[in-house]
Structure 1
Amino acid sequence: MATEYAPHTRDQWDPSGRPPSKHLLPPALRAPVEGRTWREFGYLMLSLPISVLLFVFAITMTSLGMGLLITFCGVPVLAAGLAGCRGFGAMERARARGLLKLDVADPPPLRIKAGGGPMAWIGAVLKSGTSWRHLLYAVLHMPWAVFAFTVALTLWSYGWAALTYPLWQWVFPAFTDADGIQLYGDATRHVYLDQPVELAATSAFGLVLVLVTPWLMRGLVMVDKVMVTGLLGPSRLATRVSELESDRGVVVDTAAADLRRIERDLHDGAQARLVALAMDLGLAKEKLTQDPEAAARMVDEAHGEVKIALQELRDLARGIHPAVLTDRGLDAALSAVASRCTVPVQVEVDLPARPAPAIEGIAYFTVSELLQNVSKHAQATRATVEVWQTADRLMLQVGDDGRGGADTTAGSGLAGLAERLDAVDGILVVDSPVGGPTTVTAELPWRG
């Protein structure tokens, strides 16, 4: 769904009804004890043994499979290795979701021909780009995991050890011949951290490490996130294909709904009126010789029905595609829509040229539907419509001073509008706090 919300329109209360907690400490001071920091530290610690196991498995199976390719045995061995890497990838995605809160979609499943048997499965594994990306992850992640593990563990342990050094410094004189941690020593001189000033300096150094380490770990984890997303998730091409398939379904459903609406309007409106008109004219024809005056009245009534039928047909044609939009563009078309709104509407259109006809039509119907919402639901006293171009995007913004509370919950008109915009790579942004005002911004590709 291509719908976004402004920050202050999000729910400001947790499910229990309590307001969100306010932290007394700034992020830099509370980072070392936050749950996120400990989860990331745990992720980096687990990465080393898992990556070593995955690396050994991947290299062993790949080398064995490549070496056996001179016989047919190498093909299933290589396929089994790739399938094992995919299994490890599923585990890594689950670990990233649990510890890093990184929601990575599963890659598309293997496309195995029905009834193909084991050979079809082997062929699907070997031809899948996802399988080879999982193998690449297994090879690349191990050296990175070693580096990240070493850096995180060293900084984390040294930081907390130095910070708490005054609490456990007594261990040295109690159980060893040293007075503290030895900084320097030779045959004639030894330097220990045992004086109050030295203890304080060590603790201060540890505090700096403790405060800095969480942010360094977040930088290390960002690399892991990129690797998991880029190598273990669906490829950009697969994601784009999935989006296009979904958008195609939306377009087909929308077109079918529009055709049903047009059929219903024709059947219940103009068609029914024209049938009644034909019957009235038939009666008038029969009465023409017997009662000319009654026939004249019936013809006069039929004339009025013809005008109403013509107006309904004009409205229906405007609903399909308004002629003023084709002839004069968005400025004139939106001004005509605004004139039919129940509240005063100020329209500002600042476009250097006309966009593609399809985008222009979507923009027109988007503003038209939003203004209908203003008329029906907003209880506003005024509204505004602004249209402008930013880079290669067409921006629309409709605002009103009504009661607010608009949302895109399932079944609402805004939800359907968001789906239509999503079908052409558009975005709908709803900012409508309870009490108003409401601002709805739509973003469309220019495609001039």
Structure 2
Amino acid sequence: MTIETKSGSGRTGVRGVGLAAVRGLGLALVTLPGAVLCFTLTVVSIALIPIGVGIVTTPWVLTGVRAFADWRRVLAAQWCGVRIPSAYRPIPKDANPWGRTFGMLGDPATWRDLRWLPVDMTAGFVSALLAGALLLYPLEGFAIAAGLWRVLPDGYWYGFVSVTGQASALGAGALGLVLLFFAHFFTPRLLEAHFRLTRVLLAPSQGELAERVRVLTETRRDAVDTSAAELRRIERDLHDGAQARLVAMGMDLGTVEVLLEKDPEQARQLLAQARQSSADALAELRDLVRGIHPPVLAERGLGDAVRALALRMPLATEVDVDLPGRADEPVESAAYFAVSEVLTNAVKHGHADRIWIDLHHRDGMLRISVTDNGKGGAVIGAGSGLAGVERRLGTFDGVLAVSSPAGGPTMVTMEIPCVLS
């Protein structure tokens, strides 16, 4: 059992208050320059789009802004238990600069980030700074009361106390004690308020969430339809294959019982035929099980499963895998069969003689690219294998991008958001 401790308003111990103050101060020191830099670079880069320079720089700048916002999402969840969903639209890895620029600018999440940055450099900075100052400022009052007042210039003010001697210095210490009392209650709340303000500005709107639910509903329905079709295929394969062989084998064995005394030679031939039928039925059952969920996928993971798939290909196939862990079993299964379908298309329709497969995981995204040197012309259309792959990936919020000019080469890129264990 895992117990999650949140640094929100519920934590009011001395250690929790001190930690919240340090975090608030550190956040303030990063928030102001980070938000100013991101906002300035974004405005300049977008302004340079008409002359072409911004087409190249804007995707890089917006990627940095997203990383800055995602970092704050992580801190909000880890420090205060404030969950801020990320709803960026995926951009195909092989998109050109023009497509990446206007794809990112057309994403509502991008404009939420840009609205958030000015608020973050003002109200966000102040709320984070107050979380740190509310605890650290009383320490100055205690230091003044302890004798620091002697080296301070005349007319020094601590809060509303004018420090002119030991008596007023003790007053500053008393004020510091009062501030410390309030800091005990308000420092964690100020830090939480900072992240709640961030959530208000960065979280997707109800309309976007409704659209997201609609898309997920469609993909889940496609997944159910696909599962039903898969069950019908399995039933058909069993009926036409292994089941028919087993029935024939039973009939042969019945005939053997009758011929065992009358015609031993004929009986031996039928036994050999039954033995071959049992071997064929077993091979068909193994192929069927492998088509449902390959054993190597369950035992060794996606990387080794794709390598095993490449070894069975009738043409030269190179596989490059960089997966530091394993994804959830449904994600691995979807990715495996997606790769299998793309490879089948390359062999059947692409007329390629070489295939390159690349699997890696970066920034919470499993990315798979399959490239062949065939004739090209692959498209995602109704009834095509790639359309089925797109539906399969859509179940997991994945995307499919195909680049296949006439004459080749063909590159199929698949991306599935997931975490690795």
Deviations 1:330-383 (A, max 9, x none): 222112211222211111111111111111111111111111112211111111
Report deviation, 1:237: 2.0
Report deviation, 1:447: 3.1
Partner of 1:438: 410
Distance 2:51 2:318 in 1: 47
Partner of 2:267: 295
Any runs of at least 4 consecutive aligned residues in structure 1 with deviations exceeding 2 A, and if so which?
A: 26-29
Q: For 2:283, give the aligned amino acid.
A: Q
Question: Aligned to 1:378, what secondary structure does the other structure show?
Answer: coil
Within the candidate set 383, 399, 421, 2:371 is matched to 399
Deviations 1:87-115 (A, max 9, x none): xxxxxxxxxxxxxxxxx9xxxxxxxxxxx
Deviations 1:150-187 (A, max 9, x none): xxxxxxxxxxxxxxxxxxxxxxxxxxxxxxxxxxxxxx
Within the candidate set 265, 277, 280, 1:308 is matched to 280
Distance 2:364 2:274 in 1: 52
Q: For 1:359, give the aligned amino acid.
A: V
Q: For 1:432, give the aligned amino acid.
A: S
1:325 is aligned to 2:297: yes
Distance 1:437 1:335 in 2: 22
Q: For 2:234, give the aligned amino acid.
A: I
Q: For 1:400, give the aligned amino acid.
A: D
Within the candidate set 421, 437, 448, 2:393 is matched to 421
Report deviation, 1:272: 1.1
Report deviation, 1:420: 1.3
Alignment of 1:271-286 (within 5 A): 271-286=243-258
Partner of 2:325: 353
1:447 is aligned to 2:410: no
CA contact (8 A) 2:403 2:411 kept: yes
Report deviation, 1:385: 1.1
Distance 2:257 2:309 in 1: 41
CA contact (8 A) 1:359 1:447 kept: no
Report deviation, 1:278: 1.1
Partner of 1:256: 228
Deviations 1:11-57 (A, max 9, x none): xxxxxxxxxxxxxxx9669xxxxxxxxxxxxxxxxxxxxxxxxxxxx
CA contact (8 A) 2:338 2:392 kept: no
1:266 is aligned to 2:238: yes
Distance 2:302 2:359 in 1: 9
Q: Which has the larger radius of gyration?
A: 1
Distance 1:28 1:282 in 2: 85
Alignment of 1:42-441 (within 5 A): 235-441=207-413
CA contact (8 A) 2:374 2:409 kept: yes
Question: Aligned to 1:444, what secondary structure does the other structure show?
Answer: strand
Question: Aligned to 1:384, what secondary structure does the other structure show?
Answer: strand
Structure 1 residues not aligned, in runs of 5+: 1-25, 30-103, 105-229
CA contact (8 A) 1:359 1:445 kept: no
Structure scoring higher RCO (CA < 8 A, sep ≥ 6) equals: 1
Distance 1:254 1:409 in 2: 17
**Percent identity of the aligned residues?**
50
Distance 1:313 1:375 in 2: 25
Question: Aligned to 1:396, what secondary structure does the other structure show?
Answer: strand
Question: Aligned to 1:404, what secondary structure does the other structure show?
Answer: coil
Distance 2:250 2:316 in 1: 41
Question: Aligned to 2:262, what secondary structure does the other structure show?
Answer: coil
CA contact (8 A) 2:327 2:418 kept: yes
Distance 1:344 1:402 in 2: 13
Deviations 1:288-313 (A, max 9, x none): 11111111111111111111111110
CA RMSD in angstroms comes to 2.0
Distance 2:373 2:349 in 1: 12
Distance 2:338 2:281 in 1: 27
Question: Aligned to 1:289, what secondary structure does the other structure show?
Answer: helix
Q: For 1:409, give the aligned amino acid.
A: G
Distance 2:342 2:257 in 1: 48
Distance 1:447 1:27 in 2: 39
Distance 1:247 1:28 in 2: 40
CA contact (8 A) 2:335 2:393 kept: no
